[in-house]
Structure 1
Amino acid sequence: MMDAGIEDNSNHDFSGYDVRVTDAAQNGDTFVYVIKSQQISSDTEYRVEREFEDFEWLHHCLLTQEGVTGLHGIIFPPLPAKPGPSLSNSEAKTKKKIESLAMVDDWQMYCRALEEYLHLVTAHPVLVKNPAVHSFLKNKEPPTKTKVKKGIFNKLTQAVEELRKEHHKDIDDFFQSERDSNLTLTAFTKAAAEKFLGIVLTEQKIAIACGHFSTALHLGIGQDDDPADYAFAKMCLKLSEVLDTVKKNVDKVAENDLNTLGFNLELYSRFQDAEKEMLFRRTCKLVDLETANKNLGQAKPHKKAAMEDIKKAADKEFDEISGMAKVEIQHYHRERVHAFQKALIELSDSQLQTARECCVELKQQLAEFKQLCAE
């Protein structure tokens, strides 16, 4: 439930926002993110500071709001995983959560992941109407949060429910096909994100090795007056410059990978899970509807009217969720295709530009190297 201090919906302009997460600063064991936002219909810019728990509060408010038709049919934008203390250590974070491409050096990509989450929330025609969104972006003071605790019994109950309902056959071929497709794509997308991160980490290791080799060549030069040694030293210096250029190029290639396709794969790996959760919520409502129909058929005469009301309410809710879900799924697939196309184009453009810049530098260094050999 949302806090009592949040304003009523009637006080809000529900136009979208331009949102930026501009910085992250460590405060003890937590990180504080600077968020700047401006409503499209206003000239006023807001600046607030939020911790990750504030993002979790916002997400909880979106999931649990009341009075929204078809709420359970919404594919909620996925919140990035909570960052760990070893975020800056590439090897440690790989072992801990290899698919999380949003977690990279200097927190820039993690800030971008949070920013994308807010973009998706504020661009959604239903979610942007939630007063919690406006409170999150505008109020200087962080929201008063009530931590939701789940005991072991609740977790076991949820696990049993999932096993019981997850494979329940759907009455609509569209949704049954979507559930089957989601199951396959979720596994493939996560595997692709993990493999791609493996490529990026290998590129980073190559860059580090080139840097070490360049430094070794530079430091290993002797101070002898022998002309042959002097000529060799000059060649080592030039080769050190070449390796440094290669290091910068490979670093840039890895950065391009993360900023484009890597970011997209990580985001849509989480989005596949979000769609799966939505489809499961709808399946649960389907089971509730079938139970209501069964109870109505078995009800005694004096309970028929009450069971009929329960059945009608379940039928109406299920239809509303299914209607919302179809719209969300169609929109999700369109956006996923466009996002992948955009990511691949950006990756190609950035890598081509990087290759051209590196080629120019290497050509110049090759010419200088040849001149040294001719002397």
Structure 2
Amino acid sequence: MEDDDTTGPAGQVNNFDNQEANMPPLPLYKATVTEAIKRGENIMFTINASKAAEESGCVVLRQHEDIEWLHHNLVTGNATEGVIIPPLPVKPLSDPKSAESMSRKHLGDNTKVMRGDQFEGDCKAVQKYLELMLSHSTFGRDKNLEKFLTEEEAPVRARLNKGLISRLGSAIDSARKANRKDVDDYFQDQRNFANEFSKAVKDASLNYNKLIVAQWRLSSSYRNLATDFTTCTAEMRDEPLIKVNKLMKLVSEGCEDEAGSLELRSGQSELTLGFFLELYARYSDALKDMHFRRTSALVDYESCEKALEKAKPAKKAAAEEAYNTAKKIFETSSEQAKKEIKSFTQQRLLSSAEALTAYAELQMKISQDFYSQLFHTRKHVLELRL
């Protein structure tokens, strides 16, 4: 069936597609995460939500566990056959010890500079997640999403099972079905691409983070050097020492400027290209999970087909019902997966273009701003006669 086909096997119009056409377009709400603040052991996100056609709306406070509960309800409350589920954002660091440990890991144990809270990136990650869910044809009209954005109090959460046994069972099942050859060459090629893409984007994200960390460490070294130049000045007793002190002060200022430039470059890199790579590193797992669920549906379909062929007359009806159900799930999964893959590809290419453009523009602006500062320092050094 083609992606834009809206007719059933008898040539009748598909009622679901017809209903979708008569509904208001997605997204129904616009969500903006304006800030994140610490409240005890939690990070609270301020979310402004308004209907697409309205300027004013609701302001709600939500923590990461609320987002996890929303995600759980969206995934379990909707049919996800063939759906690439937008990934959850990473839980932000909330306690000071974890933040300090992460800072020292990036800057080194001997650093005198500590990185501040990374709440701007956390806000951007939560906002992107909400935008992806609000725009998704499967999740965008879910009432749980509407309540999350509009009700003052967060929904009551239940404890989510994240036990080792469930993860182990999932890993065994995945290993058993992951290498199953597909009956459709298109999906086999797409599965191969998903595996290669996942490896490539995760390597790119990891190595890019290493580059950013190296810039932060270099910035820390510049600040230490600036401090050393400032503290090694001599007492101003005569003209030559006064000139030396001026030179030390100018070099210190240059080191501070270069440190500020590197920190700003690194921070903006994390929010543009780094954010894109980290998001799609997680999204690549969602893509692979979609293929795995479809492959599982294929395995179940073939198992039911074999069971039907071998079924005795007394169990024939039950076997036929199971076969028809498995067949429907597999066909629905395959049809939806083609649409999802096409949408995901377009979204990925558009996001990469936006991220690269924003990265390049910000890097150029930062370079231009700090060039004038460094040029000013250099000019004063050349004018200084010892």
TM-score, normalised to structure 2's length? 0.86
Q: Label 1:209 to 1:89 Cα distance change in 2 as closer, same or farther (>3 A).
A: same
1:244 paired to 2:270 = no
1:18 paired to 2:27 = no
Which residue is equivalent to 1:341?
A: 353
Q: Label 1:150 to 1:106 Cα distance change in 2 as closer, same or farther (>3 A).
A: closer
Which residue is equivalent to 2:90?
A: 81
Q: 2:217 aligns with which of 194, 205, 211?
A: 205
Q: 1:59 aligns with which of 42, 49, 71?
A: 71
Which residue is equivalent to 2:239?
A: 227
Q: Which whole-Å CA distance do the structure 2 matches of 1:137 and 1:275 have between them? A: 26
Identity of aligned residues (%): 29
Misfit runs of 4+, over 3 Å: 12-15, 87-95, 103-106, 150-156
1:264 paired to 2:273 = no
Q: Which whole-Å CA distance do the structure 2 matches of 1:104 and 1:296 have between them? A: 63
1:369 paired to 2:378 = no
Structure 1 residue 222, shift from structure 2 partner: 1.7
Structure 1 residue 201, shift from structure 2 partner: 0.8
Q: Label 1:365 to 1:91 Cα distance change in 2 as closer, same or farther (>3 A).
A: closer
TM-score, normalised to structure 1's length? 0.89
Q: 2:127 aligns with which of 112, 115, 122?
A: 115
Q: Which whole-Å CA distance do the structure 1 matches of 2:272 and 2:160 have between them? A: 35
Q: Which whole-Å CA distance do the structure 1 matches of 2:315 and 2:357 have between them? A: 62
Structure 1 residue 151, shift from structure 2 partner: 4.4
Listed one character per residue, the Cα deviations across residues 97-150 of structure 1 (whole Å, up to 9, x for unaligned) are xxxxxx983311011111110111111122111110001001111101111225
Which residue is equivalent to 1:145?
A: 157
Listed one character per residue, the Cα deviations across residues 252-284 of structure 1 (whole Å, up to 9, x for unaligned) are 211221121100000000000111111111111
Structure 1 residue 93, shift from structure 2 partner: 6.4
Are the aligned partners of 1:88 and 1:106 in contact in 2 as well (CA < 8 Å)?
Answer: no
Q: Which whole-Å CA distance do the structure 1 matches of 2:318 and 2:334 have between them? A: 24
Structure 1 residue 336, shift from structure 2 partner: 0.8
The range that moved more, 131-140 or 238-247, is 238-247
Q: Which whole-Å CA distance do the structure 2 matches of 1:162 and 1:245 have between them? A: 52
Which residue is equivalent to 2:327?
A: 315
Are the aligned partners of 2:106 and 2:217 in contact in 1 as well (CA < 8 Å)?
Answer: no
The range that moved more, 262-271 or 305-314, is 305-314
Are the aligned partners of 1:261 and 1:344 in contact in 2 as well (CA < 8 Å)?
Answer: yes
Which residue is equivalent to 1:4?
A: none
Are the aligned partners of 2:88 and 2:129 in contact in 1 as well (CA < 8 Å)?
Answer: yes
Unaligned runs of at least 5 residues, structure 2: 1-22, 108-114
Q: Tell me, what secondary structure is at the counterpart of 1:326?
A: helix
Q: Tell me, what secondary structure is at the counterpart of 2:84?
A: coil
Q: Label 1:304 to 1:118 Cα distance change in 2 as closer, same or farther (>3 A).
A: same
Q: Which whole-Å CA distance do the structure 2 matches of 1:140 and 1:370 have between them? A: 62
Structure 1 residue 347, shift from structure 2 partner: 1.3
Unaligned runs of at least 5 residues, structure 1: 1-11, 96-102
Structure 1 residue 301, shift from structure 2 partner: 2.1
Q: Label 1:104 to 1:345 Cα distance change in 2 as closer, same or farther (>3 A).
A: farther
Structure 1 residue 332, shift from structure 2 partner: 0.6
Aligned length, in residue pairs: 353
Q: Which whole-Å CA distance do the structure 1 matches of 2:135 and 2:299 have between them? A: 32
Q: Which whole-Å CA distance do the structure 2 matches of 1:114 and 1:30 have between them? A: 15
Q: 1:184 aligns with which of 171, 180, 196?
A: 196
1:290 paired to 2:302 = yes
Q: Which whole-Å CA distance do the structure 2 matches of 1:209 and 1:246 have between them? A: 10
Q: Which whole-Å CA distance do the structure 2 matches of 1:278 and 1:244 have between them? A: 49
Q: Which whole-Å CA distance do the structure 2 matches of 1:20 and 1:31 have between them? A: 16
Listed one character per residue, the Cα deviations across residues 177-203 of structure 1 (whole Å, up to 9, x for unaligned) are 111111122122111111111110110
Listed one character per residue, the Cα deviations across residues 275-329 of structure 1 (whole Å, up to 9, x for unaligned) are 1111111111111100110011001123223322221221112111111111111
